Amino acid sequence: MLNLTLALVVAALLVWAYAHWPPVALPLDASADHLLVLKSERKLRLYRGRELLREYRVSLGFAPRGAKEREGDGKTPEGRYVIDYRNPNSRFYRSLHIAYPTATEVARAQAKGVSPGGMIMIHGLRNDRGFWGRLHRLRDWTAGCIAVTNAEMAEIWRLVPDGTPIEIRP
């Protein structure tokens, strides 16, 4: 019984270490000038020119296949946007707003008689659920946003100024 208890404690510590082990920090003067999300790979990449600064594994909307068509569909949008503002007091650990929907997306949704949705963000974990760390990636769980760990969000917050272009690909 003692061996089983010890094995469970060691396993729990390893899971915790995986979920929370910090990456090597980027220089304080680093900044991104564009972002790329590859939905099929569940990756967010930050670039400075052609240089890849950092790549993060992400969780997406709960129904990630295809482009967002309407509010509530659980899809993460696809297209070219810009990070237009930030919210330090979000329900999630910090958030960067993606300027979705575009005028074209609004018109397409209106033609179908639906709302295109909005409030698409890059954000950390819910403020009461940061303990999940990297384990949040086990499934897509957002309403259409792009989620990273809180530590990753702190780094993205520092590296990505308002006005930064973002492309979200299938």
User: Three-state SS across 27-63?
Assistant: CCCCCCCEEEEEHHHCEEEEEECCEEEEEEECECECC
Predicted confidence at residue 73, as pLDDT, reads 96
CATH number for the domain harbouring residue 26: 2.40.440.10
Q: What is the pTM of this model?
A: 0.85
For residue range 115-143, list pLDDT tens digits in order.
999 999 999 998 887 777 777 888 999 99
Q: What is the pLDDT of residue 40?
A: 97
Residue segments in the chain with a per-residue pLDDT below the cut of 50: none
64 half-sphere exposure, CB direction, 13 A CA radius = 21
Domain count, the chain: 1
pLDDT given for residue 12 in this prediction: 64
Q: What is the pLDDT of residue 117?
A: 93
**Is residue 19 within 8 Å of residue 133, measured between CB atoms?**
yes
| CB-side neighbour CA atoms (13 Å) of 39 | 23
The predicted structure's pLDDT at residue 56: 96
Sign of the CA dihedral with 128 first, then 131, 133, and 138 last: negative
Per the structure, the complete domain to which residue 149 belongs is given by 2-169
Look at residue 19 in the predicted model and tell me its pLDDT. 61
